[in-house]
Structure 1
């Protein structure tokens, strides 16, 4: 039985039948179990992909519905057919297990218009706006009128490569990339091409939309994930452009952008210490890489190392706090306070061993985590110069020890 006989028409008939019967009755009628992984996302609803394809075969003239046993390739075969017909298929297992690394890969792989020789900024600007909302814990889904107004204003102010004030372009593209959910509409979301047709579809349907739930939740709670995605967007799409005003507008240009929204908690259990070290070193390396990306920038005649950049500073601060494991990094500390912050974090302050204005680096290799007492000695104590020499050595030593490649 050839699945190639099935067209979009039969698939849509099957989804209409599922809507009419209800999911449970539909699955029972056709003898399928609920999907464990692949879901068809259509018209703002999710459907069991294998069951939909099986039922759709019965709408092909002269054919009967397919049973679960008739699929030689299983659910993956059904998912492949649906994708080939232009439908969105959600890999539920992958969505639930979204990680910072996986999200960065998806952002780096976004398909954007490069007709001008440089990447268009439609999708990056819309994503940065959504990341700012996720960071602040604002509602994930918004009516189209609110999304349209906000993203249009950002495109007008920050579209530096001829972008038109058309929020429908990035939203449709991000939806097809699996990063943006759209709900409460009929029919199929058009591709991010054309002009009047795409604009009219959004105006007519007024969909509710925003980042997919797993992506929104990750960007809300994880400062590390937030930093990694912002850094990837800046490196991939904003090379050579000033982005500070945009980040200020969307609420992503301050040191706290690196902070988790909830305490990080205990480290996960590992089979052995080597595995633990590798995972921890990889995290530290990611944060250092963000610092170095931002450190290498040079806007106009300004020296990058001495210019305040909260993406760089926040990444460096997070790396140092994580490296310290909650303990003051002064080897001669006489005892830090046992109290903790409201977020149940140790009372530590990250400090530059050498001031930026005097040639120091905004980099973990020249930064330390100090308890309030040691910080006061380092800043105002009579022995501060001797302590600074010790702390500079400690910072370099710990940085080298943690980093996988052993390089400062």
Structure 2
């Protein structure tokens, strides 16, 4: 056993476990105390570095977690190893260290001061998706109102592009009013104050200058008057913005969930195009951000997380709802992205005779994601039954004389690639 054996993937698995369990439960499970000095910084979150390193060793094949007494957590040990893997490690006893800022007591995914009371479990990617899809919305017409879904999708598009989290109220009001006019397909009025006030109550939105004064999103004149008088700057809560900004898989899973929950009988494509979350997001989530194709390849931990979100989505849409979804071919953007990332840019048919050397306008490989068993025939919208194919192999699988044999092979390949991607 050696601390230097740990890999970046093993550390990311430990971070994911930390997020899922919460700080105290994670430390108790592995027998560590809170970090006295060194904190691992990842996607805005702060983690006990020694505990993460010890737990990460247990995520290596055939290895067990290291106990606290078995290694040192100092600068020449844990911090050095983690930095060597490309992670940032902050010395919490050096406030004058470049880039250092005083941190709140809460450790885990970052929480801004205005959101200090936000429960820690809301910061996990799984719980974020659940909270967003369980939004309480007005259903006076028998269908869910689109105020809050439209507002969230607009904010997600901004997060994806890395635009500032907080905006003056005049800019928020102008942008959302126009979106509600154009895409309020269930009679929504151009009143951004309603969804913003309600999302603050959901703890998904923040108005940092007014932590306790946001009125209830009921009535009419009171809400309108409050926003007109206070002109609050605001935006997504800091941890929500951070996750949606940095995790393409989570962002796509949230889009899937919002469409399933609120747009089941509507065409949301024009809205998604307006907010910058159109179909291209599923094939290149970092398009326009200055990244190369390799930047959207997911880690094993992110792949596993994305599949778990997909499986929860599967469980939520059953019976007649599954029949409607399959019939309308509303396929998961997150699943498509995971398959493309898993493929490494190469056709997954082991008998492929040659993938095109050309690339798309976005500099991505020319690949098509295929459900080996059609959804309408009972196939799963899940990477374990999906493959990335070059156009020629896709054509053979769809209408070639050997398609039945190829489909049988591709089912095995899909499961093998899926299993291997999560390791």
- Shorter-chain-normalised TM-score: which range? 0.5 to 0.7
| Equivalent of residue 411 in structure 2, options 378, 396, 400 | 396
Are 1:331 and 2:350 matched, yes or no?
Answer: yes
1:229 and 1:400 mapped to 2: Cα distance?
Answer: 25
- C-alpha offsets along residues 64-123 of structure 1, whole Å, 9 cap, x if unaligned? xxxxxxxxxxxxxxxxxxxxxxxx75237456xx23211111112322223333322211
| Equivalent of residue 319 in structure 1, options 338, 346, 362 | 338
SS in 2 for 1:368: strand
Aligned twin of 2:167: 142
Aligned twin of 1:91: 118
Aligned twin of 1:267: 299
- Where structure 1 has 5 or more consecutive residues not aligned to the other structure, the ranges are 1-33, 39-44, 48-87, 269-275
1:162 and 1:182 mapped to 2: Cα distance?
Answer: 27
2:213 and 2:180 mapped to 1: Cα distance?
Answer: 25
Aligned twin of 2:106: 37
- Where structure 2 has 5 or more consecutive residues not aligned to the other structure, the ranges are 1-102
Which stretch of structure 1 is more off in the superposition, 316-325 or 246-255? Answer: 316-325
SS in 1 for 2:234: strand
Instruction: Quote how far apart the aligned CAs of 1:243 are.
Output: 2.4
- C-alpha offsets along residues 202-229 of structure 1, whole Å, 9 cap, x if unaligned? 1111111111222122222322111211
Work out whether residues 222 and 260 of structure 1, in 8 Å CA contact, stay in contact via their aligned partners in 2: no
Structure 1 pair 355/195, CA: closer, same or farther in 2 (3 Å)?
A: same
Aligned twin of 2:140: 115
SS in 1 for 2:276: coil
Instruction: Quote how far apart the aligned CAs of 1:314 are.
Output: 3.7
Instruction: Quote how far apart the aligned CAs of 1:169 are.
Output: 0.7
Aligned twin of 1:6: none
| Equivalent of residue 243 in structure 1, options 245, 268, 271 | 268
**TM-score, normalising length from structure 2?**
0.56
1:213 and 1:399 mapped to 2: Cα distance?
Answer: 37
Structure 1 pair 368/390, CA: closer, same or farther in 2 (3 Å)?
A: farther
Instruction: Quote how far apart the aligned CAs of 1:361 are.
Output: 8.4
- For the pair shown, the structure with the greater C-alpha radius of gyration is 1
> How many residues were matched structurally?
301
Structure 1 pair 379/163, CA: closer, same or farther in 2 (3 Å)?
A: closer
Instruction: Quote how far apart the aligned CAs of 1:170 are.
Output: 0.5
Are 1:127 and 2:145 matched, yes or no?
Answer: no
| Equivalent of residue 284 in structure 1, options 282, 290, 307 | 307
Instruction: Quote how far apart the aligned CAs of 1:376 are.
Output: 5.4
Are 1:179 and 2:211 matched, yes or no?
Answer: no
SS in 2 for 1:145: helix
Instruction: Quote how far apart the aligned CAs of 1:234 are.
Output: 1.9
Work out whether residues 209 and 233 of structure 2, in 8 Å CA contact, stay in contact via their aligned partners in 1: yes
Work out whether residues 313 and 362 of structure 1, in 8 Å CA contact, stay in contact via their aligned partners in 2: no
**TM-score, normalising length from structure 1?**
0.58
Work out whether residues 353 and 360 of structure 1, in 8 Å CA contact, stay in contact via their aligned partners in 2: no
Aligned twin of 2:223: 198
Instruction: Quote how far apart the aligned CAs of 1:289 are.
Output: 7.2
- C-alpha offsets along residues 111-148 of structure 1, whole Å, 9 cap, x if unaligned? 22233333222111111111122222222211111111
Aligned twin of 1:350: 368
